[in-house]
Amino acid sequence: MCMAQIVVVFGATGMQGGSVAEILHQDPSYKVRAVTRNVNSDKAKALAAKGIEIAQADLDDRQSLADVLDGAYACFIVTDTQFKRTDCEEYEYSQGENVADICMVKKVQHVVFSSQLNAFDGMGLQVKHYDAKSRIEEFMKERALPLTTIMISCYYENFLTWLKPQKYGEHMYKVAIPMGNISLDVISVAQIGEAVRSILNNRAQTLNRNFLLSGDKLTIVEIARTFSKHLRPYEFIDAQINLDQYRPVSYTHLDVYKRVLTPGFGKTSRH
């Protein structure tokens, strides 16, 4: 019987990393080492209760990265944008440099990185959390890491938080997303872990490729109809707002989805 290969999962207490850690833990081919800055957090304890190894590391601390990547066959990397910092893009990029360099030193055989498009180069928009990840991807390629990147569309779970429908009557809600008649690519967080497991299981076919992950392609009208069907007696409609009427923190995030990502998600991958 072959020994399980160690896969280090960064951001394991977040949505993407948590999905990857839990799915890989179910596969006897892998031993998950879930990385978090706070091993005493509730989410870390929940993972530990399932039998997942919890390890402490900070993307600012190269020695801690070297410790958790010791003996690793593969790793999943997702970086976090700390928007409260004025230098959030450069800070995130420096963290990506750190983990990429240590992966190279430790000779990790397969790196799966959650990337994004460079909105500034492609559209002239400043979308710091996109641009930082795109720059990290390029840095990893310059270092010739054994790399697979994924780009993830809008989470279904966002409809429980910042995309939560707005109440306008006793049983009436509006879905206020400025997509017009353009379809929005959506995916469940649980599907991310399954995709990463498939990538790791098929290394020869997935190495040096970029996969654009989408579970469904739906207009806002179709999303509203789905909510109405499953959440009766509540009724949902498309609020039919435009970009100028939409001003949350994630304004440019949705703008990029509408103008850039949606056309590309018709393809399964790009080289």
Question: Is the pLDDT reported for residue 257 higher than 50?
Answer: no
Return the pLDDT at 65.
97
pLDDT per residue as tens digits for the range 94-149? 999 999 999 999 999 999 999 987 666 656 666 667 778 989 999 999 999 999 99
What residue spans define the domains of the chain?
A: 5-152+189-214+263-270
Cα separation, 213 vs 215, whole angstroms = 7
| Residue-level pLDDT at 126 | 63
What is the model's pLDDT at position 118?
Answer: 67
Tell me which residue of 207, 202, 209, 205 sits closest to 269, measured CA to CA: 209
> What span, in angstroms and rounded, lies between the C-alpha atoms of 100 and 120?
23
Position 244 pLDDT exceeds 90: no
- Determine the pLDDT at residue 81: 81
Whether the predicted pLDDT of 250 surpasses 60:
no
Mean pLDDT, all residues of the chain? 87
C-alpha–C-alpha distance, residues 185 and 265, integer Å: 7
246-252 average pLDDT score: 53
Determine the average pLDDT of the residues in 161-168.
91
The 8-class DSSP code of residue 73 comes to S
Buried/exposed 66-105: b ≥16 CB within 10 Å, e otherwise: eebbeebbbbbbbbbbeeeeeebbebbbebbbbbbbbbee
pLDDT digits (tens, 9 = 90+) for 77-106: 999 888 788 888 898 999 999 999 999 999
Which helix (H) or strand (E) element contains residue 89? helix 88-105
Which CA distances in Å does 71 have to 26, 37, 68, 183?
20, 20, 8, 43
Q: How many CA atoms lie within 13 A of 5 on its CB side?
A: 13
CATH superfamily of 5-152+189-214+263-270: NAD(P)-binding Rossmann-like Domain (3.40.50.720)
pLDDT at 213 over 90: yes
pLDDT at 171 > cutoff 70: yes
